[in-house]
């Protein structure tokens, strides 16, 4: 079976962050589940090399495909049509004339970029089915597709982006959802809230396949920090709280800064916080840190390697995820895999994901930074016992691996690729 996974969104999803972690682990799981599988990763032509580590795991069964980079004229013309489409203000099926205009402009955009479009069509035709791990995609497919929606965060937090960008995203969601054989997600909360509740999909067109623990982050015996890890975190002193997440409003970084201020206010001024992610600290958050007198106690390390992240988990007093909206949390699973105490926001998706840990997983109110302090006191009272209790519950989660997840995704992809019948996401995910 020839499976395509679309990793090109104006940049290439890379295996070190976000959805790229999901893709990398999924590829490994598919290879185990389907010895007859051949996987094509569609990359952006500018940075296809970012998938080299994933390709290396495939023993020749994973390849990267990308169209030639466009010349200057092609870039200018396609950007022109892209701006025209944004300006047309597509708002979905409730405006049929805008829908038709957007389709016409999209066709002209593809004609203007005909060499690239022809190459993409050949790449698409080379696979039996395509998995789309992110919904924000402006591409038509002549092969069946399985769409993954991790969340609809932009729908719930529209102020995160401009109205024009939000309209564009919703247009892409509408098109990809309409074309997909199955729309999949990784938690029942997202299916109920976003796929059925927001997008009004029938449950028969949806499927839940939970994520497994990322295979790489907890690998290897305990050891002294890597040389790159030591250099990375040289200014960070223990004890520190770790939060590896992009700076987005719903990630709630300010909550952890406020909790740090409360720790300092009760005289525990040794505490620090470490943030990692792609972007620099937002100005508003930086001003808050300065106003609270926490400059030098909050470290923004930006993008780190997976080895460096593993080092940080092993050094941290605890990993705290205070997000107000998620489909699940790789960082919490990664922290637990590294023997780091974990604390989660009391939100439905995280309560669903970490229910197997029972009382060993503390859930805190993401609206109340003071809720963290008694949890830290509980960890301090018996940190080794806390880690042991979380580890005991977490071992049950670890029994479900990416090989198991890969088998379920493979069953779903086979069903979607079958020409004789419409796929039933429930049976493939059962």
Q: Which two tokens stand for residue 144?
A: 């069946």
What CA dihedral angle connects 264, 267, 268 and 270, to 10 degrees? 80
Full 3-state SS string of 167-206: HHHHHHHHHHHHHCCEEEECCHHHHHHHHHHHCCCCHHHE
Helices (H), 266-323: 283-291, 306-315
* Structure confidence at residue 89 (pLDDT): 56
Using the predicted structure, report yes or no on whether residue 346 has a pLDDT greater than 50: yes
Q: Which two tokens stand for residue 105?
A: 């402009």
Taking the C-alpha atoms of residue 184 and residue 190, their distance in angstroms, rounded to an integer, is 10
Show the domains of the chain with their CATH numbers.
2-70+113-212+403-429 (3.40.50.2000), 227-398 (3.40.50.2000)
More confident residue, 121 or 77: 121
Taking the C-alpha atoms of residue 243 and residue 253, their distance in angstroms, rounded to an integer, is 8
Query: Which whole-number Å values give the CA distances from 310 to 229, 307, 429, in the listed order?
Result: 9, 5, 31
Using the predicted structure, report yes or no on whether residue 219 has a pLDDT greater than 60: no
* Structure confidence at residue 231 (pLDDT): 46
* Structure confidence at residue 162 (pLDDT): 83
- Sequence-ordered strand ranges (E) for 301-395: 318-321, 342-345, 363-364
Best-predicted range by mean pLDDT (181-190, 233-242, 304-313)? 181-190
Taking the C-alpha atoms of residue 412 and residue 406, their distance in angstroms, rounded to an integer, is 10
Cis peptide bond prior to 356, omega within 30° of 0: no
Taking the C-alpha atoms of residue 4 and residue 128, their distance in angstroms, rounded to an integer, is 8
> Region 6-27: what's the mean pLDDT?
91
Taking the C-alpha atoms of residue 155 and residue 325, their distance in angstroms, rounded to an integer, is 12
Taking the C-alpha atoms of residue 108 and residue 181, their distance in angstroms, rounded to an integer, is 26
More confident residue, 80 or 223: 80
Q: Which two tokens stand for residue 10?
A: 């104006």
Using the predicted structure, report yes or no on whether residue 230 has a pLDDT greater than 60: no
Q: What does DSSP assign to residue 12?
A: B
* Structure confidence at residue 80 (pLDDT): 64
Report helix, strand or coil for 390. helix
* Structure confidence at residue 305 (pLDDT): 86
**Which residues, 6 or more positions from 374, have their beta carbon under 8 angstroms from its beta carbon?**
none
List pLDDT tens digits, range 299-328: 999 888 888 999 999 999 999 999 999 999
List pLDDT tens digits, range 258-310: 999 999 999 999 999 999 987 789 999 999 999 999 999 999 998 888 889 99
Relative orientation angle of helices 372-381 and 253-265, to the nearest 10 degrees: 60
Global pTM reads: 0.82
- Nearest residue to 326 (alpha-carbon basis) of 165, 241, 211, 163: 211
* Structure confidence at residue 109 (pLDDT): 62
- φ, ψ dihedrals at 340, nearest 5°: -100, 130
Q: What does DSSP assign to residue 8?
A: B
């Amino acid at each position: 079976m020839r499976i395509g996974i679309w990793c090109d969104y104006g940049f290439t999803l890379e295996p070190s962050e976000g959805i790229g972690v999901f893709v990398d682990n999924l590829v490994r799981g598919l290879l185990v589940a389907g010895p007859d599988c051949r996987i094509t990763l569609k990359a952006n032509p500018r940075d296809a090399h970012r998938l080299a580590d994933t390709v290396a795991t495939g023993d020749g069964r994973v390849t990267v495909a990308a169209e030639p980079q466009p010349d200057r004229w092609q870039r200018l013309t396609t950007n022109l049509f892209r701006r025209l489409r944004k300006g047309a203000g597509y708002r979905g099926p409730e405006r049929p004339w805008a829908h038709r205009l957007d389709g016409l402009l999209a066709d002209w955009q593809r004609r203007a970029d005909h060499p690239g479009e022809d190459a993409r069509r050949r790449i698409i035709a080379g696979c039996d089915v395509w998995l789309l791990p992110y919904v924000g995609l402006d591409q038509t497919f002549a092969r069946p597709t399985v769409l993954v929606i991790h969340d609809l965060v932009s729908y719930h937090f529209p102020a995160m982006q401009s109205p024009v960008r939000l309209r564009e995203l919703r247009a892409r969601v509408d098109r990809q959802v309409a074309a997909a054989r199955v729309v999949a997600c990784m938690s029942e909360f997202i299916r109920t809230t976003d796929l059925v509740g927001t997008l009004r999909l029938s449950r028969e067109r949806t499927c839940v396949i939970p994520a497994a623990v990322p295979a790489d982050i907890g690998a290897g015996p305990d050891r002294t920090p890597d040389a790159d890890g030591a250099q990375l975190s040289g200014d960070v002193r223990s004890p520190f709280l770790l939060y590896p997440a992009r700076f987005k409003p719903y990630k709630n970084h300010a909550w952890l800064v406020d909790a740090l201020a409360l720790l300092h206010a009760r005289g525990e001024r040794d505490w620090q916080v470490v943030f990692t992610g792609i972007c620099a600290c937002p100005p508003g958050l930086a001003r808050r840190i300065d106003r609270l007198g926490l400059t030098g106690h909050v470290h923004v390390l930006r993008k780190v390697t997976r080895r460096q992240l593993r080092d940080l988990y092993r050094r941290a007093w605890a990993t705290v995820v205070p997000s107000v909206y998620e489909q699940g949390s790789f960082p919490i699973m990664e922290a637990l895999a590294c023997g780091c105490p974990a604390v989660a926001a009391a939100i439905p998706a995280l309560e669903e994901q970490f229910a197997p840990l029972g009382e060993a997983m503390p859930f805190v109110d993401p609206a109340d930074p003071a809720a963290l302090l008694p949890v830290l006191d509980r960890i301090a009272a018996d940190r080794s016992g806390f880690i042991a209790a979380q580890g005991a519950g977490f071992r049950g989660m670890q029994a479900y691996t990416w090989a198991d997840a890969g088998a379920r995704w493979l069953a779903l992809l086979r069903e979607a690729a079958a020409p004789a019948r419409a796929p039933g996401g429930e049976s493939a995910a059962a």
